């Protein structure tokens, strides 16, 4: 048997169990053996009854001394039995397991595991796990016992057995994807050993070695895969070789401002890519307001002047419209036809646009995800630009590419990514960084206060509105990650606000559950200063630019990641007026303070992102989903940064030495990567 064989091949996996395992995402042997324990129970110490301590989860051996009896109490069946060893007696109760009455045998010795209650001279225990001593299976006595994430209808005990059985069957035959040299260089345990010891650790040291190796591997494989794809794309297909149009300076001259050095540098990098015959796969990373749209505009101009079409994809309709307006203004004058394709168009309008795209009447098309839909055909797509809210998967990017004869790809993101995470997120792309804001931008003054300051804060809001400015309030986050609850929070907050002296102003709310049209409507009215205060969920994180908005208030600021706070803050400070961000938090935690302090002292998204990573710890409120990071089973980006760095080196070394993974020692890596691509897990 091999790593990727189906679990049906294992003994003891019947149809019923199979379905349940599938529910847990387990299909292959590898899936099964990488279904890692979520915790362990130390059952190495078997106690005597007299040693049992109140409130402690303990394990002891005892013989049943009374006949098990079922009693009914308040709709429940309670099975009770007495057990003892030569040092004392324990009373045991189980709930709603009436069959135990027959199953437990008087006079037989069992091992019990459970939480002890001691009091009134008695020792009691409720619903312990148990096993007959002389059958002493692995799960009970004398060892560290793994506890797995479960699904409905699959018990811990059954899963433990299945995995143990798989481990026994596969011992020594699992393929190790890491070549021996790599393992030696980075001091990593062998795969069979690591897998065995992550499930059934022999001792602490073995466990630590196993864990380190498996974390390393998880990071390593994702990064290797991305680098492999990158080099494959470069080699496989020739891209379009664009020429720089002679009148390129015209665009620059028509702008009402001078490009920053960073913008010019990135534009040069893009020009280099576009004029070469390899496909451009470039990520432009720049803080909010660093001026990425102009960069995109230059790329568009080059592409269209060479006779090709451009598609630009934005995460929301509002943003698509905003891009459209900006770009239309500059390109329409040059005789370049720019179209907008968004969900709210009616069928006829859409069909018209489809047609125009197909026959090449439109040169530039800007829209939402609608652009990657299958029915949309281009005449000759030469450049695809995506403005990302969150990361698109590799798969989606590939789909875009397939719309044209290997078009160039430009990805823009306003999420500053810590250097260490760059390779995990965007290893398949070349990266350009716009690390400079246009001149004259004012720092957004940031403060953090507790809720007792709210009255003063509202007074400040009043002053600003009376000066003609506008405010955003990002609403208290609710515990459940449920949209309904979030909606309720926004509405409640708005109602309360209307009862204060701010009630005389125009207050509206915005949340993710609204229809695009409603959202659009509110945003437009806000932009036109018909709304003074906008109470919102984090949906405004990516929204249109409202240069008149000067106050951003964020409630429960401790619940947001720094990167997200920064993103939200970026909604203000977009115009000539001095802007403010006030973070409200009643949390007194040290880390929270530190995080708020970071927000207060810097406006630099990259510094913030690094700090975020450093301070986040394990409590991932603003988790990997937000960034679109791959999901890891055992590795954790925040805890295992050091291993991440090492694995990054190893991945680079691997692809540099053997970019096509043709070497025999890399067979298993290649197989695994190909599977990842096939199953779209990147």
Q: Let me know if 680 is exposed, middle or buried by CB neighbors in 10 A (0-12, 13-18, 19+).
A: exposed
Residue (441 or 513) nearer to ligand ADP, CB: 441
Q: How far is the CB of 256 from ligand ADP (least distance, A)?
A: 8
| CA dist list (Å): 629 to 499, 545, 624, 632 | 42, 27, 5, 9
Q: How far is the CB of 438 from ligand ADP (least distance, A)?
A: 3
Cα angle for residues 125, 128, 133 (degrees, 5° grid): 115
Residue (65 or 293) nearer to ligand ADP, CB: 293
Residue (259 or 398) nearer to ligand ADP, CB: 259
Alpha carbons 335 and 11: distance in angstroms, whole number: 70
Alpha carbons 425 and 629: distance in angstroms, whole number: 6
Residue (255 or 484) nearer to ligand ADP, CB: 255
Q: How far is the CB of 621 from ligand ADP (least distance, A)?
A: 24
Alpha carbons 599 and 601: distance in angstroms, whole number: 6
Q: 682 near 676, Cβ under 8 Å?
A: yes
Q: How far is the CB of 442 from ligand ADP (least distance, A)?
A: 13
Residue (315 or 360) nearer to ligand ADP, CB: 315
Residue (322 or 406) nearer to ligand ADP, CB: 322
Give the pair of three-digit tokens for residue 399.
């789909």
Give the three-class secondary structure for 389: coil
Residue (163 or 298) nearer to ligand ADP, CB: 298
Residue (290 or 494) nearer to ligand ADP, CB: 290
Q: How far is the CB of 414 from ligand ADP (least distance, A)?
A: 5
Q: How far is the CB of 305 from ligand ADP (least distance, A)?
A: 21
Strands 381-388 and 309-313: parallel
Residue (37 or 543) nearer to ligand ADP, CB: 543
Q: 627 near 390, Cβ under 8 Å?
A: yes
Residue (233 or 295) nearer to ligand ADP, CB: 295
Residue (542 or 613) nearer to ligand ADP, CB: 542
Nearest to 566 by CA among 290, 284, 259, 266: 290
Q: How far is the CB of 319 from ligand ADP (least distance, A)?
A: 9
Residue (248 or 259) nearer to ligand ADP, CB: 259
| CA dihedral (555, 391, 623, 287) positive or negative | negative
Nearest to 554 by CA among 624, 479, 454, 627: 454
Give the three-class secondary structure for 551: strand
Residue (97 or 333) nearer to ligand ADP, CB: 333
Q: How far is the CB of 284 from ligand ADP (least distance, A)?
A: 9
Give the full edge-to-edge strand order of the sheet including 364-367: 338-341, 364-367, 309-313, 381-388, 408-413, 281-286, 430-434
Residues within the interface to ligand ADP (CB under 6 A): 257-260, 263, 286, 288-294, 414, 438
Q: How far is the CB of 464 from ligand ADP (least distance, A)?
A: 21
Inter-axis angle of helices 667-678 and 204-236, to 10 degrees?
Answer: 70
Give the pair of three-digit tokens for residue 40.
């362990």
Residue (288 or 381) nearer to ligand ADP, CB: 288
Q: How far is the CB of 144 from ligand ADP (least distance, A)?
A: 51
Alpha carbons 458 and 505: distance in angstroms, whole number: 12
Q: Please, which residues have CB within 8 angstroms of residue 539's CB and are 6 or more apart in sequence?
A: 510, 511, 512, 519
Alpha carbons 410 and 243: distance in angstroms, whole number: 17
Q: Please, which residues have CB within 8 angstroms of residue 235's CB and are 6 or more apart in sequence?
A: 659, 660
Beta bridge partners of 410: 282, 385
End-to-end Cα distance, the chain: 26
Question: From the centroid of its chain, how far is CA 310?
Answer: 29
Residue (10 or 429) nearer to ligand ADP, CB: 429
Q: How far is the CB of 285 from ligand ADP (least distance, A)?
A: 10
Alpha carbons 390 and 405: distance in angstroms, whole number: 26
- Backbone conformation region of residue 142, classed left if phi is above 0, alpha if psi is from -120 to 50, else beta: left
Q: 465 near 534, Cβ under 8 Å?
A: no
Q: How far is the CB of 253 from ligand ADP (least distance, A)?
A: 13
Q: How far is the CB of 340 from ligand ADP (least distance, A)?
A: 17
Give the pair of three-digit tokens for residue 333.
């004058």
Q: How far is the CB of 388 from ligand ADP (least distance, A)?
A: 11
Residue nearest to ligand ADP (CB): 291
The secondary structure element, H or E, covering residue 64 is: strand 57-64
Q: Let me know if 470 is exposed, middle or buried by CB neighbors in 10 A (0-12, 13-18, 19+).
A: buried
Q: How far is the CB of 249 from ligand ADP (least distance, A)?
A: 15
Cα angle for residues 531, 343, 682 (degrees, 5° grid): 105
Q: How far is the CB of 313 from ligand ADP (least distance, A)?
A: 14
Residue (293 or 636) nearer to ligand ADP, CB: 293
**Given the structure tokens 């630590």, which residue do they identify?**
208
């Amino acid at each position: 048997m091999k790593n990727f064989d189906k679990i049906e091949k294992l003994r003891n996996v019947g149809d019923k169990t199979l379905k349940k395992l599938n529910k847990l995402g387990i299909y292959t042997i590898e899936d099964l053996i990488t279904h890692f324990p979520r915790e362990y129970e130390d059952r190495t110490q078997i106690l005597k009854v007299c040693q049992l301590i109140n409130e402690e989860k303990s394990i002891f051996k005892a013989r049943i001394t009374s006949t098990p009896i079922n009693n009914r109490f308040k709709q429940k069946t309670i099975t009770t039995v007495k057990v003892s060893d030569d040092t004392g007696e324990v009373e045991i109760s189980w709930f709603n397991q009436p069959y135990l009455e027959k199953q437990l045998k008087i006079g037989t010795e069992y091992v019990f595991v459970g939480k002890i209650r001691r009091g009134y001279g008695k020792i009691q225990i409720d619903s312990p796990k148990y096993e007959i001593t002389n059958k002493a299976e692995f799960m009970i006595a004398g060892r560290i016992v793994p506890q797995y994430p479960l699904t409905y209808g699959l018990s811990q005990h059954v899963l433990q057995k299945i995995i143990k059985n798989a481990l026994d069957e596969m011992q020594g035959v699992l393929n190790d994807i890491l070549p021996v040299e790599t393992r030696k260089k980075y001091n990593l345990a062998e795969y069979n050993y690591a897998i065995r010891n992550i499930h059934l650790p022999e001792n602490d040291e073995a466990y630590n070695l196993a864990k380190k190796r498996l974390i390393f591997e998880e990071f390593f494989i994702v990064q290797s895969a991305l680098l492999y794809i990158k080099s494959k794309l470069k080699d496989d297909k020739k891209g379009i070789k664009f020429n720089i149009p002679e009148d390129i300076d015209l665009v620059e001259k028509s702008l009402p401002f001078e490009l920053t050095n960073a913008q010019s540098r990135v534009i040069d990098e893009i020009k280099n890519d576009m004029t070469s015959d390899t496909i451009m796969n470039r990520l432009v990373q720049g803080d909010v307001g660093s001026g990425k749209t102009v960069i995109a505009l230059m790329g568009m101009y080059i592409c269209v002047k060479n006779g090709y079409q451009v598609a630009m994809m934005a995460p929301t309709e509002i943003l698509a419209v905003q891009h459209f307006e900006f770009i239309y203004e500059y390109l329409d004058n040059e005789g370049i036809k720019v179209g907008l394709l968004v969900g709210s168009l009616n069928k006829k309008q859409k069909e018209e646009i489809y047609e125009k795209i197909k026959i090449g009447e439109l040169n530039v098309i800007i829209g939402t995800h609608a652009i990657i839909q299958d029915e949309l055909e281009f005449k000759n797509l030469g450049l695809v630009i995506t403005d990302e809210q969150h990361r698109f998967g590799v798969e989606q990017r590939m789909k875009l590419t397939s719309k044209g004869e290997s078009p160039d790809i430009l990805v823009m993101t306003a999420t500053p990514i810590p250097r260490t995470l760059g390779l995990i997120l965007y290893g398949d792309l070349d990266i350009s960084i716009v690390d400079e804001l246009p001149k004259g931008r004012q720092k957004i003054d940031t403060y953090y206060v507790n809720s007792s300051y709210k009255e003063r804060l509202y007074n400040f809001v009043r002053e600003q509105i009376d000066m003609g400015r506008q405010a955003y309030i990002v609403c208290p986050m609710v515990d459940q990650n449920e949209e309904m609850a979030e909606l309720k929070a926004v509405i409640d907050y708005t109602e309360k606000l209307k009862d204060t002296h701010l009630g005389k102003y125009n207050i509206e709310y915005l949340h993710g559950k609204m229809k695009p049209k409603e959202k659009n409507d509110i945003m437009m009215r806000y932009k036109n200063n018909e709304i003074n205060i906008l109470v919102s969920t984090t949906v405004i994180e990516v929204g249109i630019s409202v240069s008149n908005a000067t106050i951003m208030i964020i409630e429960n600021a401790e619940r947001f990641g720094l990167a997200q706070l920064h993103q939200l803050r970026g909604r203000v400070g977009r115009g000539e007026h001095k802007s403010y961000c006030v973070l409200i938090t009643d949390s007194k935690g040290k880390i929270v303070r530190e995080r708020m302090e970071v927000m207060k002292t810097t406006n630099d998204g990259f510094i913030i992102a690094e700090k975020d990573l450093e301070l986040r710890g394990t409590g991932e409120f603003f988790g990997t989903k937000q960034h679109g990071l791959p999901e890891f089973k055992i590795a954790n980006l925040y805890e295992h940064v050091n291993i991440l760095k090492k694995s990054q080196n190893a991945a680079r070394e691997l692809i540099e030495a053997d970019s096509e993974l043709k070497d025999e020692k890399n067979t298993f890596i290649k197989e695994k990567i190909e599977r990842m691509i096939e199953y779209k897990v990147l």
